Structure 1
């Protein structure tokens, strides 16, 4: 089952609904990337409006990782970077319960959902290294050189600093799966939708949990969402210096 895919024209992620054959609780699985077009995050937010609860990643605020990537892409004049923004989905505006199972792994945002100081420090540390990598890889081609097709069978190595527990999962994945199991047990027969909005690398494990131990199957495959689009006229690929960093 394909969950996210790269191509020569860009990057897109799926929206899939899982439910048991007998009905009841529906899981809306939305893999994400931490940088993309504003319309991409707007489409995700709009889809979440029909859900009665959301399980989301870390905290209700902008992504420092996405900010670092977008900044580095613009500094190195990557053709896709001119219109990209960092992930920033306003979960609080949905007015439904939001569960952040791995909240303790990231500091809470400042007032008005601003990125915390630790997040800005992360941007300052990682942006130069990312920009150097992109510059050495070659302008316009950096992203398409990374193959990141993700299926439900895809396995990922832990991120630097993360450790694998006795059950073969990282702490963050353990917390995510624990939240899913708890909600699935408590609301199994309810006619509600609960969304899972996490980075795409976490979603193969989520899908295997839903279709394996919890007994769900794919109830619907909704429209794919385009996060990054390379298909633009050549004259738009290298914006003018005047105002090109005003984002």
Structure 2
């Protein structure tokens, strides 16, 4: 199953619902990239509005990594870099339970969802390094070398500085899968949707656990959201109405 796709026109990620043959709990699985067009994150937020709970990555605030990469792409004139923003999904406005399994690995949240001081340090360090890499490459589609297709069979190693356990999984993946198994065990018979919004590298493992261990299967009607595009005019990307997508 294809979960995220890089093409000659840009990068897009999927929205897939996993369900059980007999009904009950459904999982809305959304792999994300930490920088993209504003309407990409707006569309994700819109889809989350119909869910009864959300399992999200780290904390309810902007992504320092996404900010650094988006800034570096604009500085170096990357053709995919225009109008890019860092990931910033306002989970607090959804008024449903939000679970951050790996919250302790993120900076402490601050008031008004501003980026913490340690996040700005990360931006200051990472932005010039990435900008130099982009400039040296001489390409205006540098992003194409850094992200690519992700399938449910794709295997990623633990992230740098992640704590690997005897099972070979990083701590963040273990925490994420633990929450999924716990929710499944308690609410498996409930008619409800729970979303999983995590970076794309975590999602293949999530899908394999859902389908091979817990007995879910992908429902028809997988949707796709364009996170980064090279050529589409900006006015084509701006939604005009709340609820514009037929979820």
The normalised TM-score by structure 1 is: 0.92
Structure 1 position 213 matched with structure 2 position 231: no
Residues 80, 141 of structure 2: 8 Å contact kept: no
- Structure 1 range deviating more: 144-153 or 79-88: 144-153
SS class of match (1:221): coil
Partner of 1:242: none
C-alpha distance in 2 between matches for 1:92 and 1:140? 36
Q: CA deviation at 1:231?
A: 2.0
Aligned to 1:91: 91
Matched, 1:185 2:198: no
Partner secondary structure for residue 185 of structure 2: helix
**Structure 2 counterpart SS, 1:191:** coil
- Structure 1: where are the runs of 5+ without partners? 234-247
Question: How many Å separate the matches in 1 of 2:111 and 2:150?
Answer: 35
- Give CA-to-partner distance per residue, 1:88-136, whole Å, 9 cap, x none: 0000000000000000000232111000011111111111110011111
Q: Which residue of structure 1 aligns with residue 163 of structure 2?
A: 163
Match in the other structure for 2:17: 17
Partner of 1:237: none
Distance apart, 1:146 and its partner CA: 3.4
Matches within 5 A, 1:149-160: 149-160=149-160
| Aligned CA-pair RMSD | 1.1
1:143-173 residue CA offsets vs partner (Å, 9 max, x unmatched): 1233511000001122221232111210000
- Is residue 195 of structure 2 the alignment partner of residue 195 of structure 1? yes
| Secondary structure of residue in 2 paired with 1:220 | coil
Total equivalences in the alignment: 233
1:240 maps to what in 2? none
Aligned position for 1:79: 79
User: What corresponds to 1:132 in structure 2?
Assistant: 132
Give 2:59's aligned residue: 59
Aligned partners of 1:15 and 1:221 also within 8 Å: no
**C-alpha displacement at 1:232, in angstroms?**
4.0
Give distance in 1, aligned partners of 2:210 and 2:224. Answer: 20
Once the two structures are TM-superposed, the CA of residue 71 in structure 1 deviates from its matched residue by 0.8
Checking the alignment, whether the CA contact within 8 Å between 1:77 and 1:139 is kept in structure 2 is no
Alignment of 1:85-124 (within 5 A): 85-124=85-124
Over 4 Å off, 4+ runs: none
* Aligned partner of residue 17 in structure 2, secondary structure: strand
Give 1:2 shift: 0.3
- What SS does the aligned partner of 1:11 have? strand
Q: Is the 8 A contact 2:159 2:170 kept in 1?
A: no
TM-score (norm 2): 0.92
How far apart are residue 194 of structure 1 and its match?
0.2
Q: Partners in 1 of 2:42 and 2:222 — Cα distance?
A: 16
Distance 1:12 1:84 in 2: 14
Distance of 2:202 and 2:60 partners within structure 1: 18
